[in-house]
């Protein structure tokens, strides 16, 4: 019974941390409520593991500790499940997420369980070390839990396109059937009806990387697809099933590493469009830092 406070405080803190990290945004992923139920329960198990480790070590139950660490390795299955789910749903998306984005999401969901284990562990250690009254101990645990959660989520927060690039509107031009943005050919639009839709409703953005690291990151195909998908998710896309002319496209200018996005949004709002592009997350798997290499520095 002596460890019951530690167990409750640690598990509770880890669970709440997982709940905090389950933010619902435009992506609606994990879906609500079933997706939430799945992730909260897995997070609860993680929190319990983190909380139990402390009393187990104190009681010199090292076999139990080994088993708990073994149990923690099961969380890697979370990544597989996420990957499979999102991969299976990919064919139902008008604009595909792309495998790189799916991998990124799966990785984040796996990592968040480990974060909830860390929070539970930190709070359990605090609770065990605390010698004062239960209510004061609860307050201290709460404080430690909040600080660790905020710190870890701050450290885990990725960049957005707006952080690594300047985004501005670009003009859509037609050279007969070729849709061009600043001499970069985006696609061949064969029908005049489709071309007039682009002339009237189409929007284009120029994404200029800030420096060589950003340039290398934006050159990733998965990142390019993620931009097309996320912007469509945020501001909507003017297309129906099978209308391949209107699929949002991202193309790269090899001369300067700029990306161009062209699409027909469902609402013609230029500011919303630019904001959406800036808010697209930079995929962890796409990040490249050539400037940290000797050869990269020589080129800069």
Partner 1 sequence: MKLILAVVATDHTQVGGGAPIFYARSEEEKNEVALLIAKILGAAVHDLQNGVLVIVQH
Residues 276, 260: Cα–Cα separation, whole Å = 14
**What's the Cα-to-Cα distance from 263 to each of 46, 157, 169, 180, 209, rounded to whole Å?**
42, 28, 12, 12, 20
Residue from 47, 285, 27, 16 nearest 150 by CA:
16
Nearer to partner 1, 82 or 245 (CB): 245
Tell me how far, at minimum, the Cβ of 185 lies from partner 1, in Å: 12
Residue from 113, 130, 110, 112 nearest 54 by CA:
130
Nearer to partner 1, 114 or 174 (CB): 174
Packing angle, helices 4-21 and 134-156, rounded to 10 = 30
Beta carbons within 8 Å of 202's beta carbon, 6+ residues apart = 172, 262, 263, 264
Quote the DSSP letter at residue 189.
Answer: -
Tell me how far, at minimum, the Cβ of 174 lies from partner 1, in Å: 11
Nearer to partner 1, 237 or 258 (CB): 237
Per the listing, tokens 């501001």 go with 235
Tell me how far, at minimum, the Cβ of 205 lies from partner 1, in Å: 22
8 Å CB contact between 269 and 231: no
Tell me how far, at minimum, the Cβ of 101 lies from partner 1, in Å: 19
Instruction: Note the residues at the interface with partner 1 (CB under 8 A).
Output: 176-177, 188-194, 241-245, 247
- Residue 101 sits at the vertex; the CA angle it makes with 95 and 203, to the nearest 5 degrees, is 40
Tell me how far, at minimum, the Cβ of 287 lies from partner 1, in Å: 29
Instruction: Give the CA radius of gyration of the chain.
Output: 24
Tell me how far, at minimum, the Cβ of 188 lies from partner 1, in Å: 4
Tell me how far, at minimum, the Cβ of 95 lies from partner 1, in Å: 13
Nearer to partner 1, 5 or 238 (CB): 238
Convert 112-130 to b/e letters by CB count within 10 Å (16 or more is b): bbbbbbbbbbbbbbbbbeb
Nearer to partner 1, 156 or 177 (CB): 177
Nearer to partner 1, 242 or 254 (CB): 242
Nearer to partner 1, 161 or 197 (CB): 197
């Amino acid at each position: 019974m002596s460890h019951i406070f530690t167990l409750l405080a640690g598990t509770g803190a880890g669970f709440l941390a997982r709940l905090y990290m389950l933010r619902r945004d435009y992506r609606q992923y994990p879906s609500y409520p079933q997706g939430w139920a799945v992730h909260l329960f897995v997070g609860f198990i993680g929190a319990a593991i983190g909380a139990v480790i402390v009393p187990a070590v104190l009681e010199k139950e090292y076999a139990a500790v080994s088993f708990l660490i073994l149990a923690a390795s099961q969380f890697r299955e979370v990544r597989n499940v996420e990957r499979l789910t999102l991969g299976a749903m990919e064919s139902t998306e008008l604009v595909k997420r792309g495998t790189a984005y799916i991998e990124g999401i799966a990785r984040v969901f796996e990592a968040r369980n480990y974060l909830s284990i860390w929070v539970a562990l930190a709070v359990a250690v605090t609770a065990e070390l605390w010698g004062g009254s239960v209510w004061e101990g609860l307050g201290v645990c709460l404080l430690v839990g909040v600080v660790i959660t905020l710190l870890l989520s701050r450290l885990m927060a990725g960049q957005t396109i707006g952080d690594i690039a300047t985004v501005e509107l670009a003009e859509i031009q037609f050279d007969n059937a070729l849709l061009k943005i600043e001499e970069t050919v985006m696609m061949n639009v064969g029908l005049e009806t489709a071309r007039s839709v682009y002339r009237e409703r189409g929007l284009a953005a120029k994404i200029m990387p800030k420096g060589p690291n950003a340039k290398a990151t934006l050159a990733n195909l998965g990142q390019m697809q993620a931009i097309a998908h996320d912007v469509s998710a945020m501001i909507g896309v003017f297309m129906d099933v099978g209308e391949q002319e209107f699929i949002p496209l991202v193309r790269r200018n090899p001369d300067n590493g700029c990306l161009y996005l062209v699409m027909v949004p469902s609402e013609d709002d230029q500011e919303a469009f630019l904001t959406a592009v800036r808010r697209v997350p930079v995929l962890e798997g796409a990040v490249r830092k050539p400037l940290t290499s000797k050869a990269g520095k020589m080129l800069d």
